[in-house]
Amino acid sequence: MDGDGEPKGATTAVSPPWEELVSAALLGTDRRPAAGTPEELLDTAAIQTVRRRAGLVPASAAGRPPAAPPDPRRAVPRAARRRLAQLLADRSAPAHAGGRRGTAPDLGELLPQWLALANERGMRAPAALLPALLDAARARTDLRPGALTFAGPRGLWLARHNPEWRFALRGASGSTALPDPGDTAGVQRLWQEGLFAERVAVLGAVRAHGPDAARALLAETWSTERAEDRLLFLDSLRDGLSAADEPFLEGALADRSRNVRATAAELLSALPGSALAGRMARRAASCVSLDRTGDGAAIAVEAPHECDAEMQRDGIAPRPPGGRGERSWWLGQLVESAPLDSWPARLGGRTARAVVALPVTDGWGVELHAAWCRAAVRQGNAEWARALLGAPSQPPGEGAGTGSLAERAKLLSILPQEERAEWVARFISAHGLSEAFQLLGVCVVPWAGALGRAVVDALEIARDAGSYPWSFSGVMGLAERCLDPSESPRLEALTAAPPEREGASPGAGSYWAEAFRRLVATLSLRLAMREELDACPPR
């Protein structure tokens, strides 16, 4: 049997008339009387057909694919493997129609978590599930990193055979061939000759291994790189940034490309001891001072009147985006780039908290605080982050610190995990859930006990207030993914439908019961997922 299903070898030799039979049949015995009557033609064809089939021989094999590289990671326990098959089978299920989701867990949402757990445990994907896994990663970009790590070398091997899975090779082709960071010759070769993605990958790997070696590598070819490449290479210094990088970054401040200059300036300003940070501190200080003319201390702001060449060289963008005044735009950039540690000395030896609490004259407060928020995030300054966050109980938009949820989320992300969870828990206790979504997003999964309890309490309060659960579907969805499964006993009590109360939305109680049942079901599923992955490996 060869590729097109036609027999060859013995059969064709023995039965030369087959092709003639076919052409006679195609034209018809009326036009090809030599083939005999239709019955005779069919008789002959029947004999030929059975003979052809009985005489089939194998085809010659095409080139066999090379064997997939071995994957030394351990196998997934049996029950966990089944669970993964289930999660993958469910991923193509249609999105939930309308607002109502029923009581069954949304398995597709648990897939990323399952993959993360398996990857943490250093497990290898079951071969039979690789196609479904690659299909899932193809459809959902958020799954790709976890899915490809899990799929491992055999997943890449498989993806090479199917154009639909080409996405898997894009990110990975570099990393598979990446030399050891200590292999100087290999690193040099790839850095000199590699494709752009491979060079980015090797630079990142060397940087993680030794920051100085990476900078040296970069300096070698810096002057010959294209502007957009310089930008991305420069960005790789963000990881492991230290004072040792300053001279190189100072040099990049004179780069031909404006974007490269801006990135170099941003990196330098994140180094509070750098010369650039010092220059920024002096500029910012000249704009912000203590005003003692009133009853108590206040901060007086005098925004810059011009953006001179020196400022521009240090990365200050002279043109404001539409709708913003030039002077406030320049002020914001100066303060954002100035080391936060320079402010207490400038403002009467006050702590960060006291500085933030000072009133600001002439309505500059919002501008100044926003710039400090950006500085705290850029410099990773937890003390200032705390001061700017303010008290969690404080209503947004009142008192010291920022009221913006986006800024608060960013500030929270630089605080230690426990403190973050504690702060958000207290925020939720004070203000409920309607504004908590963004803040919950920066908390570590699974949620710490106090945070989880605060969320559940707030959900219960929302239910008792008589609203519908889908007003909280965002938080409910997060809770399904992030609550610690050990919270589920506390939730059992909420799964019963409460008696309908006056003033409550019609039917809301049973919808809430349904939502809580789903939450409990999802938590027990997550617990089961974890237990299955920790079970004894199969024989």
Partner 1 sequence: MTQQGVRWTAEQVLALAPDDASRKAGSRLGAAGPWSGSGCDGTGAVWGLCAGSGEQPYRTVVDTTGPAFLCGCPSRKFPCKHAVGLLLLWTGGEAAVPEGVAPDWVERWLDARRRGGERGGRDGTGPAGGTGAVADPEAARRRAEKRAGRITSGALELEQRLADLLRGGLAAAERPGYGLWEETAARMVDAQAPGLAARVRELGAIPGSGPGWPARLLEECALLHLLDRAWLGRDVAPAPLAATVRSRVGVPAAPQGPAIRDSWQVIAQYDTADAKLTTRRIWLYGRESGRSALVLDFGAAGRAPSVALPVGLAIDADLTPYPGAGQVRAALGERYGTPVPAGGPPPGTTTAQALERYGRALLDDPWLDACPTTLTEVVPIPPQGDAERWQLADVKGALALPVASGGVGRAGLWKLLAVSGGSPVTVFGECGHRGFTPLAVWSEGATEAVALT
Residues with Cβ < 8 Å from 471, sequence gap 6 or more?
462
DSSP annotation string for 206-220: HHHH-HHHHHHHHHH
Left if phi > 0, otherwise alpha if psi is -120 to 50, otherwise beta: which for 467?
Answer: beta
Q: Is 107 in the site for partner 1 (CB under 8 A)?
A: yes
In the region spanning residues 332 to 391, those forming contacts with partner 1, defined by CB under 8 A, are: none
DSSP annotation string for 431-471: H-STTTHHHHTTSPSSPPHHHHHHHHHHHHHHHHTT--GGG
DSSP annotation string for 112-151: HHHHHHHHHTTEE--GGGHHHHHHHHHH-GGGHHHHHHHH
Q: Is 26 in the site for partner 1 (CB under 8 A)?
A: yes
Distance of alpha carbon 377 from alpha carbon 197, whole angstroms: 29
Region from 53-61, 341-349, 377-385, 413-421 binding partner 1, contact rule CB under 8 A: 53-61
Residue (107 or 373) nearer to partner 1, CB: 107
Residue (67 or 185) nearer to partner 1, CB: 67
Supply the minimum distance, in Å, between the C-beta of residue 44 and partner 1.
8
Please return the burial class of 175, using the count of CB atoms within 10 Å of its CB with bins 0-12, 13-18 and 19+.
middle
Q: Is 521 in the site for partner 1 (CB under 8 A)?
A: yes
Supply the minimum distance, in Å, between the C-beta of residue 55 and partner 1.
7
Q: Is there a contact between 531 and 117 (Cβ–Cβ < 8 Å)?
A: no
Distance of alpha carbon 358 from alpha carbon 351, whole angstroms: 11
In the region spanning residues 436 to 455, those forming contacts with partner 1, defined by CB under 8 A, are: none
Q: Is 226 in the site for partner 1 (CB under 8 A)?
A: no
Using CB under 8 A, which of 8, 12, 41, 342 touches partner 1?
41
Q: Is there a contact between 135 and 148 (Cβ–Cβ < 8 Å)?
A: no
Q: Is 29 in the site for partner 1 (CB under 8 A)?
A: yes
Q: Is 66 in the site for partner 1 (CB under 8 A)?
A: yes
Residue (158 or 303) nearer to partner 1, CB: 158
**Alpha-carbon distances of 46 from 18, 21, 40, 55, 188, rounded to whole Å:** 11, 11, 10, 14, 70
Q: Is there a contact between 141 and 170 (Cβ–Cβ < 8 Å)?
A: no
Using CB under 8 A, which of 13, 60, 120, 397 touches partner 1?
60
The enclosing H or E element of 299 equals strand 298-301
Q: Is 477 in the site for partner 1 (CB under 8 A)?
A: no
Residues with Cβ < 8 Å from 359, sequence gap 6 or more?
296, 298, 299, 365
Amino acid at 38: P
Using CB under 8 A, which of 50, 195, 208, 244 touches partner 1?
50
Distance of alpha carbon 321 from alpha carbon 332, whole angstroms: 13
Q: Is 14 in the site for partner 1 (CB under 8 A)?
A: no
Amino acid at 507: G
Region from 157-165, 219-227, 232-240, 409-417 binding partner 1, contact rule CB under 8 A: 157-165
Q: Is 16 in the site for partner 1 (CB under 8 A)?
A: no
Give the residue carrying structure tokens 């087959």: 18
Q: Is 38 in the site for partner 1 (CB under 8 A)?
A: yes
Give the residue carrying structure tokens 């109502």: 100
Distance of alpha carbon 35 from alpha carbon 347, whole angstroms: 110
Supply the minimum distance, in Å, between the C-beta of residue 43 and partner 1.
7
Region from 21-29, 184-192, 230-238, 423-431 binding partner 1, contact rule CB under 8 A: 21-29
Region from 29-37, 137-145, 298-306, 426-434 binding partner 1, contact rule CB under 8 A: 29-37
Task: Please work out the total of residues on this chain that contact partner 1, with binding judged by CB under 8 A.
Answer: 77
Q: Is there a contact between 297 and 348 (Cβ–Cβ < 8 Å)?
A: yes
Using CB under 8 A, which of 10, 14, 17, 65 touches partner 1?
65
Supply the minimum distance, in Å, between the C-beta of residue 128 and partner 1.
4
Region from 42-50, 344-352, 358-366, 383-391 binding partner 1, contact rule CB under 8 A: 42-50
Q: Is 62 in the site for partner 1 (CB under 8 A)?
A: yes
Using CB under 8 A, which of 13, 16, 34, 39 touches partner 1?
39
Region from 125-133, 137-145, 194-202, 333-341 binding partner 1, contact rule CB under 8 A: 125-133
Q: Is 196 in the site for partner 1 (CB under 8 A)?
A: no
Supply the minimum distance, in Å, between the C-beta of residue 332 and partner 1.
51
Using CB under 8 A, which of 8, 12, 75, 79 touches partner 1?
79
Supply the minimum distance, in Å, between the C-beta of residue 139 and partner 1.
14
Q: Is 2 in the site for partner 1 (CB under 8 A)?
A: yes
With CA atoms as reference, report the closest residue to 118 among 158, 77, 176, 69: 77
Supply the minimum distance, in Å, between the C-beta of residue 531 and partner 1.
8
Q: Is 22 in the site for partner 1 (CB under 8 A)?
A: yes
In the region spanning residues 265 to 324, those forming contacts with partner 1, defined by CB under 8 A, are: none
Torsion of CA 254, 258, 259, 262, to 10 degrees: 60
Q: Is there a contact between 390 and 353 (Cβ–Cβ < 8 Å)?
A: no
Supply the minimum distance, in Å, between the C-beta of residue 466 and partner 1.
22
Region from 48-56, 136-144, 266-274, 498-506 binding partner 1, contact rule CB under 8 A: 48-56
Supply the minimum distance, in Å, between the C-beta of residue 280 and partner 1.
56
Q: Is 75 in the site for partner 1 (CB under 8 A)?
A: no
DSSP 415: S
Residue 538: strand, helix, or coil:
coil
Q: Is 68 in the site for partner 1 (CB under 8 A)?
A: yes
Using CB under 8 A, which of 20, 43, 212, 228 touches partner 1?
43
Supply the minimum distance, in Å, between the C-beta of residue 63 and partner 1.
7
